[in-house]
Structure 1
Amino acid sequence: MRLTSGGTGPDVLSHPWKRYSLSAVVVAASAAAGSAAVDPGSDWYRGLSKLVWQPPAWAFGVVWTPLYASIAFAAGHALGRTRGRERVRTAVRLGANLALNTGWTWLFFRRRNPRAALAGTLLLDLSNAGLIRQLARTDPVAARTLLPYAAWCAFATALNVSLTRRNP
């Protein structure tokens, strides 16, 4: 399976249904890997000192479901509008972003390390900014689609900062 055209063999991403399906599978795998680490019912998490503006645990699933769908759409859209090295850069940047996204939950919930998770979420925020900036040049629709995701991640960073300060 080739991600780029040029040379022999089919370009799997030239077919929209394959491109969007592949994006959805990759994003769903990332979401599943991240959610496997989440345990808001643990004694450790329930025992953290939280601010009053901390959303209830159920709100995260409600918010993340459409955000993950928007990431899958943006990925499929962007990969269909890029070719060659630009497509590879886009795919790598999207993959790295999803890895950072998944990694945060493991750092926070499984390692129970809000400080390490804070470093992870700051890297995710930088990744979001770089990804949106890159996509704005090649696919403005995909870039705009990722804005709510970036905004939620920035909010999550603020939550992580507050938890780190309140729970040294």
Structure 2
Amino acid sequence: MKKWTYLWLPLLALAVGFLASSLTRQGMETIYPTWVKPALTPPEIVFPIVWTILYILMGLGLAMVLRQGGASAKPATIVWGVQLALNFVWTLVFFGAGKPLAAFFVLLLLWLAILVMIRSFRQFSTLAAVLQVPYLLWVTFAGYLNLAIFYLNR
């Protein structure tokens, strides 16, 4: 495996996040500010910083898995793609469509996909799996925020 994989996989994950953010910019600027948010909502500047770090960790984790597993890492690669797609869809549903309850159900699927990804990564690299734990924790916290926003704005 080429060392470039450690660059292009994080960039791919970042690009997916950037695309989702770009497609939902209007909702982020018009819908989201009108919602009542729970007390533990971080300042807005925190979100892009955390997501940038998490997307980089996602890409680095997959690069490690591919380096260790090669072709046998195909199932882990598929799970990585599924969780990234669910991450993308959540952004579209929550910010783009302004549907926090529907987004919460997508987030539950994302959370499960991250668990499966961590388990599949661990077969090839413990470090790759551990690098995904902050992502799981953040999505758990996002689940709290997501559900609280739904309840506060019914």
Q: Note the C-alpha offset of 1:58.
A: 1.5
Is residue 54 from structure 1 mapped to residue 41 from structure 2 by the alignment?
yes
Code of the aligned partner of 1:121: L
Is residue 40 from structure 1 mapped to residue 28 from structure 2 by the alignment?
yes
Aligned to 1:87: 73
Aligned to 2:51: 64
**Quick check: which has more Rg, 1 or 2?**
1
The structure showing larger relative contact order (alpha-carbon pairs under 8 Å, at least 6 residues apart) is 2
Alignment partner of 1:55: what SS?
A: coil
Q: Note the C-alpha offset of 1:59.
A: 1.2
Greater helix content: 2
How far apart, CA to CA, are the structure 2 residues paired with 1:58 and 1:49? 18
Alignment partner of 2:69: what SS?
A: coil
Q: Note the C-alpha offset of 1:103.
A: 0.9
Code of the aligned partner of 1:76: A
Identity among equivalent pairs (%):
28
Unaligned runs of 5+ in 1: 1-13
Unaligned runs of 5+ in 2: none
With 62-71 and 122-131 compared, the bigger mean Cα shift is at 62-71
Aligned residues: 152
TM-score normalised by L of structure 2:
0.92
How far apart, CA to CA, are the structure 2 residues paired with 1:94 and 1:136? 13
Return structure 1 stretches of 4+ with deviation > 6 angstroms.
none
Is residue 157 from structure 1 mapped to residue 143 from structure 2 by the alignment?
yes
How far apart, CA to CA, are the structure 2 residues paired with 1:31 and 1:45? 18
Q: CA RMSD in A?
A: 1.4
TM-score normalised by L of structure 1:
0.85
